[in-house]
């Protein structure tokens, strides 16, 4: 950590600051320039609050040199984490596709889609029971009943199930859920993250619409700090000035950046990123090529009558076509370090 002092900083206050830093167990290397003096803080600075230092009268600026995250940091955990979901592995060279409808709507719907996506090679089933919707007047999901229907589809197909939690109070309903999804709007719902840190299940953590890579890493750190080491990152498009064609801008460069900084697996959601069914295929191919550990894709047996997000859902036939293209490209995908 580097502390840049203001010109003509008061010497008494400076001495006080230096004493405080040393009391925190850190060494100080001081560089006195013509225009500014710099303190280099040497030691474990992860517990130092950067804002606190920045607020001091004599300080012009503070810059972090080392990362503020530890458990998720590849530096301290160089090997890829492999998350195991009932035998389905993801990460460390294992690739898995999660597919299913945006919302669970009925037993026949979810079971039909589950069988179709399994036949095409999907490794897990997704389906929304609790639905975050911008409008209070939109369909809010089947909630507890939706989870029961997912369990039926799991019983029929053997596919592990992935579904979103929206509030801590819903946690008891997730006993038979295999992967708990944290949606983009809840990426910084810190109380929820803390609760999920105490759960013994993989967490699919979606990047917020306007969250930086570092914030995403810090949110995973919340979960890991609680003791749960099974976190899967999911990039699903970020919000930018470009809103005309696609709902969001898919940041595929997040794949190598996240995998460089962290040992956790990274998957891509091209359905929410683009919001347009016909753009899902090229983005699935590109994401796989960029080295993603998996994909999460919306598939509906009747997109035109889906209760939400039909516009971005693939038919089972289109999904099958995507899976073939993804399988074909996998051997040529980017692998870090090669």
Residues numbered 260-279 forming contacts with a second copy, rule: CB under 8 A: 260, 273-274, 278-279
- Binding region for a second copy (CB under 8 A) out of 77-85, 86-94, 107-115, 329-337: 329-337
Helices (H), the chain: 11-23, 50-54, 107-119, 144-157, 190-196, 213-225, 254-261, 270-274, 277-289, 316-329
Between 156 and 239, name the residue whose CB sits nearer to a second copy.
239
Nearest 5°: CA angle at 146, between 142 and 148? 145
Query: With respect to a second copy, which residue has the nearer C-beta, 54 or 86?
Result: 54
- 19 part of the interface to a second copy, by CB under 8 A: no
Instruction: Give the Cα separation of 93 and 146 in Å (integer).
Output: 32
Alpha-carbon gap, residue 250 to 210, rounded angstroms: 12
Contact between 287 and 258 under an 8 Å Cβ cutoff? The reply is: no
331 with 288: CB under 8 angstroms? no
Size of the site for a second copy (CB under 8 A): 113
**Interface mask (CB under 8 A) for a second copy, residues 275-304, using x and -?**
---xx-xxx-xxxxxxx-----------xx
Task: Choose which of 10, 15, 22, 27 interacts with a second copy (CB under 8 A).
Answer: 27
43 closest CA partner among 65, 61, 60: 65
Only one of the segments 90-98, 112-120, 121-129, 185-193 lies at the binding site for a second copy (rule: CB under 8 A); that segment is 185-193
Smaller CB separation from a second copy, 156 or 194: 194
Among 18, 107, 156, 256, binds a second copy (CB under 8 A): 256
Structure tokens at 98: 């999660």
Q: Which stretch binds a second copy (CB under 8 A): 60-68, 106-114, 152-160, 198-206?
A: 60-68
> Do the bridges between strand 37-42 and strand 203-206 make them parallel or antiparallel, or are there none, so unpaired?
unpaired
Residues 186-225, one symbol each (x = binds a second copy by CB under 8 A, - = not), give x-xxxxx-x-------------xxx-xxxx--x--xx--x
State the CB neighbour count (10 A cutoff) for residue 45. Answer: 19
**Among the listed residues 21, 297, 307, 314, the single contact to a second copy using CB under 8 A:** 307
Q: How far is the CB of 236 from a second copy (least distance, A)?
A: 13
- Nearest-approach distance from CB 86 to a second copy, in angstroms: 28
What gap in Å lies between CA 245 and CA 195, rounded to an integer? 37
The interface mask with a second copy, positions 136-175, x = CB under 8 A, is: xxxxx-------------------------xxxxx-----
Applying the rule CB under 8 A, the residues between 70 and 129 that interact with a second copy are: none
Query: How many of the other CB atoms lie within 10 Å of CB of 325?
Result: 15
> What does 52-117 look like in DSSP terms, one character per residue?
HHHTSTTEEEEE--S-S-STTBGGG--SPP-EEETTEEEBTTB-EEEEE-SB---HHHHHHHHHHH
Q: What minimum distance in Å lies between the beta carbon of 291 and a second copy?
A: 6
Block residue for tokens 């962290």: 262
CB 22 within 8 A of CB 28: yes
Residue 82 vs 290, nearer CB to a second copy: 290
Residue placing its CB nearer to a second copy in the complex, 32 or 175: 32
> In the bound complex, what is the minimum distance in angstroms from residue 20's beta carbon to a second copy?
10
What are residue 180's DSSP bridge partners?
163, 203
Distance between CA atoms of residues 173 and 69, nearest Å: 31
Among 79, 134, 172, 175, binds a second copy (CB under 8 A): 134
Shortest Cβ distance from residue 27 to a second copy (Å)?
Answer: 8
CB of 151 to a second copy, least distance (A): 22
Name the minimum Å distance from CB 267 to a second copy. 15
């Amino acid at each position: 950590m580097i502390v840049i002092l203001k010109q003509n900083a008061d010497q008494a206050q400076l001495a006080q600051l230096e004493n405080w830093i040393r009391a925190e167990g850190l060494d100080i290397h001081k560089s006195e320039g013509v225009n500014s003096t710099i303190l280099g803080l040497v030691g474990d600075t992860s517990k130092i609050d950067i804002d606190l230092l920045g607020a001091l009268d004599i300080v012009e600026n503070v810059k972090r040199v080392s990362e503020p995250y530890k458990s998720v940091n590849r530096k301290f955990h160089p090997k890829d984490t492999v998350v195991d979901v009932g035998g389905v592995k993801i990460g460390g060279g294992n690739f898995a596709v999660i597919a299913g409808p945006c919302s669970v709507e009925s037993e026949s719907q979810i079971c039909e889609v589950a069988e179709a996506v399994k036949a095409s090679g999907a490794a897990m089933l997704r389906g929304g029971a609790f639905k975050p919707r911008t409008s209070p007047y939109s369909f809010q999901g089947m909630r507890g009943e939706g989870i029961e229907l997912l369990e039926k589809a799991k019983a029929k197909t053997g596919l592990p199930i992935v579904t979103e939690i929206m509030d801590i109070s819903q946690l008891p309903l997730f006993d038979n859920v295999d992967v708990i999804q944290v949606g983009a709007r809840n990426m910084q719902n810190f109380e929820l993250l803390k609760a999920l840190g105490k759960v013994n299940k993989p967490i699919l953590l979606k990047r917020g619409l306007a969250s930086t890579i570092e914030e995403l890493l810090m949110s995973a750190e919340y979960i890991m700090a609680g003791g749960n080491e099974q976190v899967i990152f999911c990039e699903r498009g970020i919000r930018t000035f470009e809103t005309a064609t696609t709902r969001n801008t898919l940041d595929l460069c997040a794949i190598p950046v996240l995998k460089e900084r962290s040992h956790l697996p990274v998957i891509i959601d091209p359905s929410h990123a683009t919001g347009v069914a016909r753009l899902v295929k090229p983005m699935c191919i590109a994401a796989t090529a960029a080295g993603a550990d998996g994909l999460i894709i919306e598939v509906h047996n009747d997109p035109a009558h889906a209760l939400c997000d039909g516009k971005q859902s693939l038919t089972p036939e289109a999904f099958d076509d995507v899976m073939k293209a993804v399988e074909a490209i996998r051997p040529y995908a980017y692998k870090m370090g090669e």
